Structure 1
């Protein structure tokens, strides 16, 4: 079954964006790729890239100590805290009041998708710097405007947005940047692997960042087969599908891309 057929099978149940291509950034298949969705945790990839840029510039250091706290400036004014009940990465919470290295927080942010670690890294990096990474490579439609769990900002309509095409553009940039090996290794160590990695053979290197929330399930990554050129696949879904079905859909799209990895242009 082709990707178009898979998408036809869920037509009417939500919005689905797909971008598939190689590391040259040229797409071979697109479907609703320019439409933005609530970004969920996919915004953590631009945050990581902005952090790496500041590390390379000497403004930050991976070994610098950061005090773990849960009190942040809201994009709507005032303060907010991360909801621990909605953070599925517990390790950062065990360090409240303690100092940990910035690199440890970055690892928790990407490999475990920790929301608290993300807001701590974002506080150091700055929302403008993280958004600048996304704007540099993307279309300008996607944006990072606030931290995770900034409820006041969310209520004011200040949201983080991501399209499949813009997530792909950032992944292409990361995949081609010799200085971004640190971020690529973090992505490859992602422990949440129910989407793209589930659709390709076990052991395949997939440098990916996913995201999920109510009605939201996204994933985007660089897949590196041993017997073919790397390819980039991103899929953003905002739908009424049960979450497990959305994951299976992304995995099925990845499996179809994998079957065509030697001649990606034949994907339909």
Structure 2
């Protein structure tokens, strides 16, 4: 079943966006790719890129200590904390009140998608610096405006948004970044432990540098796939729908399989 057929099969169940292309940044297949969704944890990729820019500039260091705490300034007013019950990365929570290296937090943020680690890294980097990554590579529709679990800001309508096209643009930039910072981010993405979407749709052992995200009605994934017998390709899928979460994951995996099956002639998907 082709990608268009897969999307046709869920028509009316929500909003589904896809961007597929190679590392030259040219799309070979798009479906509602410019429409933004709540970003969920896909925003952690621009945060990681912004971090490495500051490391390269000498403003931050991966080995600098950061005290782990759960208290942050809201983008709206007052302060907020991360909901531990909704954070599926427990290791950061065991470090409360103690110093850890900033690089360790970055690893927790990407490979285990720790929300607490993300807000600690974002506090060091700054929301403006993280958003600047999206502004540089994206269309201007996507944005990082607040930390994870900033409920006060959320209630005030301050949200993080991501489109498949903008997530793809960031991945294309990372995939072509030959600096030490680019390699560092790619290795973090390749170490992602949550692999139920794009990696599940390609053969086991394939290198996939990806960042996914999920929330109520939300399931996204975006990554660079490296077939051993073809050029790398970039795939991003964003879903905001009434599909059961497992079904949304299977949809993304099936789209990845469709892309993989055309890896030697990706343009044929058009």
Structure 2 length as normaliser, TM-score? 0.99
Tell me what 1:222 maps to: 224
* Paired residues for 1:1-268 under 5 Å: 1-179=1-179, 180-268=182-270
Unaligned segments of structure 1, at least 5 residues: none
The Cα offsets for residues 59-94 of structure 1, whole Å up to 9 and x where unpaired, read as: 000000000000000000110000000000000000
Structure 1 length as normaliser, TM-score? 1.00
Residue 75 of structure 2 aligns to a residue whose secondary structure is coil
Distance across 2 between alignment mates of 1:225 and 1:105: 30
Distance across 1 between alignment mates of 2:234 and 2:213: 17
Residue 237 of structure 1 aligns to a residue whose secondary structure is strand
Report the Cα offset of residue 267 of structure 1: 1.1
The Cα offsets for residues 165-186 of structure 1, whole Å up to 9 and x where unpaired, read as: 0000000000000110000000
Distance across 2 between alignment mates of 1:133 and 1:220: 16
The Cα offsets for residues 17-56 of structure 1, whole Å up to 9 and x where unpaired, read as: 0000000000000000000000000000000000000000
Report the Cα offset of residue 11 of structure 1: 0.1
Residue 178 of structure 1 aligns to a residue whose secondary structure is coil
Alignment RMSD (CA, Å): 0.4
Residue 104 of structure 1 aligns to a residue whose secondary structure is helix
The Cα offsets for residues 150-206 of structure 1, whole Å up to 9 and x where unpaired, read as: 000000000000000000000000000011000000000000000000000000000
After TM superposition, the runs of 4+ consecutive aligned structure 1 residues lying more than 2 A away are none
Unaligned segments of structure 2, at least 5 residues: none
The Cα offsets for residues 127-163 of structure 1, whole Å up to 9 and x where unpaired, read as: 0000000110000000000000000000000000000
Distance across 2 between alignment mates of 1:225 and 1:135: 30
Distance across 1 between alignment mates of 2:7 and 2:226: 24
Aligned residues: 268
Residue 264 of structure 2 aligns to a residue whose secondary structure is coil
Distance across 2 between alignment mates of 1:93 and 1:237: 29
